[in-house]
Amino acid sequence: MAVGVTGRVAVVTGAARGIGAATVRALAADGWSVLAVDIAAGDPDLPYPLGSTADLAAVVADAPDRVHPFVADVRDPDAVEAAVGMAENRWGGVGCRDRLCRRDCGRPAALAGTGGRTAGGARRQPRCVLTLARAAIPALLRRPRPRHGRFLAVASAAATRGLPDLAAYCAAKAGVAGLIRALGRELGGTGITANAVSPGSTDTPILAESARLYGLPNAEAFAAQQPIGRLLEPREIAAVLAFLAGPGSSGMTGAVVPVDGGLAL
């Protein structure tokens, strides 16, 4: 398949629904070629359903000329390596392919880990982001200098704000934030940056599961805890991730950007 018009290639995990799906759509609308990665199957360890093959197909259908699906479990290092390899093979490498690219063009590759789980799956989140980093960052570094790459992750307001009955989730998201800060230092001078967003209560299936754990009637009950007085939409988180993937974030690395409606205040 030909490279996208701008030559920008992204790999997005957790792409079948929620913030991941919104991120795929935002990047594709901005001209990126996107490999949309998701397990697209249930997990017997979790008491709620994950995204399905139909969900992933619907995301691809919104921009079939730019988005390609890839079914993989991000807990499996071999599967993540295969996903990154697919992006390299399909679009001729993970990175900016524009031969007229200037050193400061800011047209990078982006590797975005957007999947999230609560309850039993929370403990796996830092490991999943680390697995993605171990596969993605070497691919970004394989690009010739001057290179431009973005490694992005989704933390949570729970990384800095303690939430009752969700100790494992809070610890997991704090781990993601710490990993991003460390990567920001380690990647200094390489042309690759690492940043994250830290969402507040966002209208996703995971928030509905949190409502169930707390015995609340629905996810909307969480809106009152945010100063903006409403739940966030996945597209609002995705918009900031798209910004972090683009040229405007060239001076940022190791940052964990709150997109939380004021929840952490």
- Which residues make Cβ contacts (< 8 Å) with residue 95, sequence separation at least 6? 9, 108, 109, 140, 142, 143, 147, 148, 149
Query: DSSP letters along 142-206, please?
Result: TSPSSP-EEEEEE--GGGTS--TT-HHHHHHHHHHHHHHHHHHHHTTTTTEEEEEEEE-SBSSHH
Does the annotation count 169 as an active-site position?
yes
Name the catalytic one among 32, 151, 169, 222: 169
Q: In whole angstroms, how large is the CA radius of gyration of the chain?
A: 17
Whole-number Å distance between alpha carbons of 226 and 229: 5
Active site residues: 169
